[in-house]
Structure 1
Amino acid sequence: MNTRRIRLAASVKGLGYHASGWMISGVPPLADFGLYRRMAEIAERGLFDMLFIPDRLAAAMYDVPRGALGRASTVTDLEPLTVLAALSPLTHSIGLAATMSTTFQEPYTIARFFASLDHVSGGRAAWNVVTSTLKEEARNHGMETMPPKAVRYARAEEAVDVVTGLWDSWDADAFVRDTRTGRYFDPAKVRRLEHHGPHFRVDGPLNVPRTPTGRPVVVQAGASPAGRELAGRTAEIVYTVQNDLSEAQTYYADVKERAVAHGRDPAGLLVLPGILPVLGETRAAARDRLHRLQEQIDPQLGLAHLALFLGDLSELDLDGPIPDLDDDPAVPSRRRLWLQMAHERNLTIRQLYQTTAIANGHLEAVGTATDVADVMEEWFTQGAADGFNVMSALAPHDLEGFVRLVVPELQRRGLFRSRYESTTLRGNLGLERH
């Protein structure tokens, strides 16, 4: 019998993914720990596999176009690992995933942080590997500019190998604690890494014991060939930005094939496209809600959102077409996605920021609970996804609605669990122990 089930992560980004959400009635005034706790409680009640907190290492002090500065609630946030460590005793089965950049952190530090979280949470930690992109992040870490993409990915490749090698420092039975002989651990069951590579020198061993399931889960997101190759070789969960079924199927097949080429079982790499559900009692009500959410985006913030990848378009007619723009190798995947979307749908500048400023280019599923479940089932059964990274336009309202309405519909169809299978993240995801 086929027991494959949809995997769900809840992506928690401050007050939600709506650029101007803080201005909407009912949204909490601040993304404090209480909001993260509420989101974790909702997600665990909905039997989600994982709570995921994205991160960046710079305050969003953008004033492009001029006048945008001071309008966004995303200028500050809490450090994800601290939040997840605090959430671990308040939750029991849901996985706890955080972003940490290989461009700015040393692999020994990464290994130690996530191994510790895995112990604190009883085997529920996951590391989202990123290389970072923003020059502001670089300048907060002693760099004049961001290293070239090829350099960042080469460093990431090596960092993942070092981190996983450090997690394997100790055998599970290394700590013999033999009071008769006075031996606390068996030296034969611990290994120095002795890694000397182009980017890192790390002797090891890690000064954290082997974690409850051997290693934290490795998560990665990458659309470029380098990102896909890193995912195929190292990742156990892949986040992806897709809004077209055919393109999602192509991406899904590609990363699975890359995993096989590296001698891996493709079932051990779970592809989770981002999805932003917009629910209503009827399809018309859902479409109306989406329209209202789009209309509530501050134009200055919408233009600031586009400026990250397309440059300042504020001098152009908002209701005119997207101009012809040269390709930029520094940020190819998101830039190309947005330009392709704009040209295929004949979108104006205003329509493009309204389309992307909430879901950020991810799949929008708009309709009743049945409609949203239909979309998820199609992607899941047609080779486009193993599950979804569920994004909330407004927190905690939209996650609450998804758990109350969509989760029962997925369960009714036999596509989603009715209880947790395990108290560890690997156990719930069906991933092997290490």
Structure 2
Amino acid sequence: MTSPRQIHLGVSMRNPYHIAAWRHPDAPSRAEIDLDNYVQVAQIAERGKFDMAFLADGVGVRAKEHAARHMVAHDIVNFEPLTLLGALSMVTSRIGLIATASTTYNEPYHIARKFASLDHISKGRAGWNLVTSWSEAEALNFGLEQPPEKLGRYDRAAEFVEVVKGLWDSWDEDAFPMDKASGTFFDPSRMHVLDHRGRHFTVRGPLNVPRSPQGRPVIIQAGATDRGREIAAAHADVIYAASQTLAEAQAFYRSVKDRMPKYGRRPEQLAIMPGFSIIVGATEEEAQRKFRVLQDLLDPQVGLMMLYNMVGDFSGYDIDGPVPRLDAAPQVRSEILYGIAEREKLTIRQLYERIAVSRGHHSVVGTPEQVVDEMEAWFTQGGADGFNILPPHLPGGLADVVDMVVPELQRRGLFRKEYEGTTLREHLGVVVAPGERSSQPFQGEVA
């Protein structure tokens, strides 16, 4: 008998999503560089039986060169994510651990080795959030004046992930008998050499880490461009999506799932998980009060700088006037924000107040029943397979979701009451098939 489909849950844990959350009276001011804070957040999510904890990341201080931004920003310093997740793997046992790593400023062998190592250390709970790097600040840290152009970045990313998957397939599960009696440590016939020669990379292999406990670490992708959707349809196990409305979510969901058959994949092999910012209270009044506490902490300079990083510079305009269309190349995120402003006829101030809680993702403020009504609608009406929860502040905002929203999901039969597996792939239901691989058997001598 087939089990009923259930919602997947992740949590974004690098920083609270409300832009002023670090000023919340219950939030630790050093959260970004406090290991104990991350431990608490990961353990709360595991108590809630979440599939995974997600760490966003960049390889530079993306804030534009603006004194006010540097004075009030809370997110310009943070830990390197794989180092942090290695530590968190020691204080958790079930929750998946996802780290962001760029294909623009890394090499495939590095990424394959690091995530395979984390998968062994965590006993099968590692995942790679595949991104391309877009900011000038990051480019300047790697000897470039500007980031590579978008199509070139995606072309490199598409080949990059093929190489990484091939390296993860370097060894069969039974490649290392480690038989002391016979003196056989490994079986060369169970080793596979990639020998990749492509446009961007030449990588021989094999990887010097045994096959992952999951077969391969989970691959997450967040790009919403057409090329990003193609990469996700071909390779991703999870998409971290951004949609403001159910209709937008349904269109994105269909767009990606409909591409999968041409890559020999079934739609159920990919979980689409939009970001959901949730502020929940026992009553509507309590939820709105929690929301206002955060909104009242929002400095106008921070709001303008948030828009500056996501859309462009509105500092020369009346913040209580309409949102102008800036003369810049359209980006997916900027178009989402323009859409919000035009649909709701918002001023510049109202726009940054509107997105301060979620930075362009969908937000819900209400009771557990109201929150779950919305989640259930997106889940059952073809908009989502689950949600990446964006707590307004940490750790309290996540604890509210675990203590109030999760029980309501469970009451409706939409979410697990206990973990049924031990690996992230088992949580997601995207197990690598036995014998599935990308590379070829080794034919030669071992040096």
| TM-score, normalising length: structure 1 | 0.96
Q: In the TM superposition, what is the alpha-carbon distance from 1:115 to its structure 2 partner? A: 0.1
CA displacement, residues 286-345 of structure 1 (integer Å, 9 cap, x when unaligned):
23432342232111111001011322111211111011223515xx10011111111111
Aligned pairs (5 A) from 1:375-414: 375-414=374-413
Q: Equivalents in 2 of 1:255, 1:127: separation in Å?
A: 19
Cα pair 1:295 1:354 within 8 Å, conserved: no
Match of 1:224 in 2: 225
Change in Cα spacing, 1:52 to 1:173, as seen in structure 2 (3 Å) is same
Q: Equivalents in 2 of 1:282, 1:319: separation in Å?
A: 32
Cα pair 2:269 2:430 within 8 Å, conserved: yes
The residue type equivalent to 1:18 in the other structure is: H
Computed over aligned residues only, the root mean square deviation of the Cα atoms, in angstroms, reads: 1.3
- Look up the SS of the partner of 2:152 in the other structure: helix
1:152 equivalent in alignment to 2:150? no
The residue type equivalent to 2:237 in the other structure is: E
The residue type equivalent to 2:322 in the other structure is: P
Match of 1:62 in 2: 64
Q: In the TM superposition, what is the alpha-carbon distance from 1:60 to its structure 2 partner? A: 4.3
Cα pair 1:60 1:76 within 8 Å, conserved: no
Match of 1:242 in 2: 243
CA displacement, residues 161-213 of structure 1 (integer Å, 9 cap, x when unaligned):
00000000000111122345433111111011111111111110000000112
- Look up the SS of the partner of 1:415 in the other structure: coil
Q: Equivalents in 1 of 2:310, 2:292: separation in Å?
A: 24
Q: Equivalents in 2 of 1:124, 1:407: separation in Å?
A: 21
Q: Equivalents in 1 of 2:63, 2:132: separation in Å?
A: 21
Q: In the TM superposition, what is the alpha-carbon distance from 1:25 to its structure 2 partner? A: 1.1
The residue type equivalent to 2:20 in the other structure is: S
Identity %: 48
Match of 2:440 in 1: none
Cα pair 1:19 1:298 within 8 Å, conserved: no
Match of 2:370 in 1: 371
Q: In the TM superposition, what is the alpha-carbon distance from 1:393 to its structure 2 partner? A: 1.2
4+ residue segments displaced more than 4 Å: none
Q: Equivalents in 1 of 2:250, 2:134: separation in Å?
A: 26
Q: Equivalents in 2 of 1:243, 1:309: separation in Å?
A: 15
Q: Equivalents in 1 of 2:365, 2:261: separation in Å?
A: 35
Q: In the TM superposition, what is the alpha-carbon distance from 1:239 to its structure 2 partner? A: 0.6
The residue type equivalent to 2:56 in the other structure is: P
Match of 1:290 in 2: 291
Q: Equivalents in 1 of 2:38, 2:203: separation in Å?
A: 35
- Look up the SS of the partner of 2:193 in the other structure: coil
Aligned pairs (5 A) from 1:327-346: 327-329=328-330, 332-346=331-345
Aligned pairs (5 A) from 1:153-302: 153-302=154-303
The residue type equivalent to 2:140 in the other structure is: R
Q: Equivalents in 1 of 2:63, 2:323: separation in Å?
A: 25
The residue type equivalent to 1:48 in the other structure is: F
- Look up the SS of the partner of 2:259 in the other structure: helix
- Look up the SS of the partner of 1:388 in the other structure: strand
1:27 equivalent in alignment to 2:27? yes
1:305 equivalent in alignment to 2:306? yes
Cα pair 1:103 1:152 within 8 Å, conserved: yes
- Look up the SS of the partner of 1:68 in the other structure: helix
- Look up the SS of the partner of 2:239 in the other structure: strand
Q: Which of these residues, 16, 23, 46, is aligned with residue 44 of structure 1?
A: 46
User: What are structure 2's unaligned runs of at least 5 residues?
Assistant: 434-447
The residue type equivalent to 1:17 in the other structure is: Y
Cα pair 1:50 1:96 within 8 Å, conserved: yes
- Look up the SS of the partner of 1:289 in the other structure: helix
Q: In the TM superposition, what is the alpha-carbon distance from 1:61 to its structure 2 partner? A: 4.4
User: What are structure 1's unaligned runs of at least 5 residues?
Assistant: none
Q: Equivalents in 1 of 2:63, 2:384: separation in Å?
A: 35
Q: Equivalents in 2 of 1:258, 1:179: separation in Å?
A: 49
Match of 2:443 in 1: none
Match of 1:122 in 2: 123
Further displaced range: 22-31 or 89-98: 22-31
The residue type equivalent to 2:325 in the other structure is: D
Match of 2:325 in 1: 324
Instruction: Count the aligned residue pairs.
Output: 430
Q: Equivalents in 1 of 2:194, 2:269: separation in Å?
A: 25
- Look up the SS of the partner of 1:128 in the other structure: strand
Aligned pairs (5 A) from 1:355-370: 355-370=354-369
Cα pair 2:312 2:326 within 8 Å, conserved: no
- Look up the SS of the partner of 1:405 in the other structure: helix
Q: In the TM superposition, what is the alpha-carbon distance from 1:223 to its structure 2 partner? A: 1.1
Match of 2:428 in 1: 429
Cα pair 2:62 2:135 within 8 Å, conserved: no
- Look up the SS of the partner of 2:285 in the other structure: helix
Match of 2:436 in 1: none
Match of 2:99 in 1: 98
Q: Equivalents in 1 of 2:224, 2:323: separation in Å?
A: 23
Match of 2:442 in 1: none
- Look up the SS of the partner of 1:69 in the other structure: helix
Q: Equivalents in 2 of 1:406, 1:67: separation in Å?
A: 37
- Look up the SS of the partner of 1:70 in the other structure: helix
Cα pair 1:236 1:268 within 8 Å, conserved: yes
Q: In the TM superposition, what is the alpha-carbon distance from 1:261 to its structure 2 partner? A: 2.3
